Amino acid sequence: MIVLSCDFGLEGPYIGQVKAALYQDAPRSHIIDLFSDLPVYNPHAASALLAAYSPVFPADTVFLSIVDPGVGMSNRRGVVVQSCDHWFVGPDNGLFNGVMKRDGNAKWWEIIWRPTQLSNTFHGRDLFAPVAAAIASCAFPSEKLRPMAFPDLTTVDADYAAVAYIDHFGNLISGIRAEAVLNTTTLALCHEEIVYARTFGEVEVGELFWYKNANGLIEIAVNCGSAAKMVGAVVGDRISLSFPGAP
């Protein structure tokens, strides 16, 4: 299985071209569209989403993940990461920090191979897709990769304490893992204070609340409404937590 996550959007030829490259080299693979609208130019927000949404996929799933504002820059490497029984292929710009931060046994490689035809601006199609397809076909391309030492992630935050994604309903998905947050915690976003509810049915229509979503992240929503419109939030807006008993 190859899982595609990118910020390309559904308009235009981009996703179609990436899928064509994948099918050319891995015709028997199943390609799953997870995100086509990851936060544009924001690999750090995308990193939190990738870390939260990847665990439910079976072992050896290959995640082709592309949020790549630095495409074509000489200091931006292409990498393969093996973490939590999954494979991740894409740019080395913080996109995989989330999955690596949560797995001290992760391994990674720099992609040193270059295809005969490599555009300056579409490495997702020309560079990353062929490598992802090779891994999905059980043909690990060791000759195209160079092992690297595990990076120092001590300064990398375990959570992205901001709005990481806004879904079709206007729900605000944060990059904050809910497992360590008490239900009595109050959130603050865009000058609004937001309290917890277990699910939509526990609040009145039009009421703002936060809950623990199905992928383990804190999410802010309005029952039968758009939280994004109600509070005026956009991706990247910071979320603060007020813990009970704190001064």
pTM assigned to the model: 0.93
Query: What are 95-153's pLDDT values in tens digits?
Result: 999 999 988 889 999 999 999 999 999 999 999 999 999 999 999 999 999 999 988 89
**Buried b / exposed e across 73-98, counting CB within 10 Å, b at 16+?**
eeeebbbbbbbbebbbbbbbbebbbb
Q: Is 23 exposed, middle or buried (0-12, 13-18, 19+ CB in 10 A)?
A: middle
- What are the structure tokens assigned to 227, written together? 């939280």
Six-digit token string for 159: 């959570």
Architecture of domain 160-242: Beta Barrel (2.40)
Taking the CB of residue 12, how many other CB atoms lie within 10 A of it?
Answer: 9
Percent of the chain past pLDDT 70, that is, above it, reads: 98
Q: What is the pLDDT of residue 181?
A: 94
Q: Report the alpha-carbon distance of residue 220 to residue 193 in Å, rounded.
A: 11
Residue written as tokens 């990076």?
Answer: 151
CA atoms within 13 A on the CB side of 171: 19
The number of CA neighbours under 13 Å toward the Cβ of 15 is: 19
> How far apart (Å, rounded) are the C-alpha atoms in residues 158 and 32?
27
Q: 188-243 pLDDT, tens per residue?
A: 999 999 999 999 999 999 999 999 999 999 999 999 999 999 999 999 999 999 86
What would the CATH number be for the domain defined by 2-148? Answer: 3.40.50.10790
Q: Residue 195 — φ and ψ, nearest 5°? A: -105, 165
The tens digit of pLDDT for each residue in 150-178 reads 888 988 898 999 999 999 999 999 999 99
In the chain, domain spans: 2-148, 160-242
Q: What is the mean pLDDT of residues 65-92?
A: 92
Instruction: Assess contact for 47 and 162: CB atoms under 8 A.
Output: no
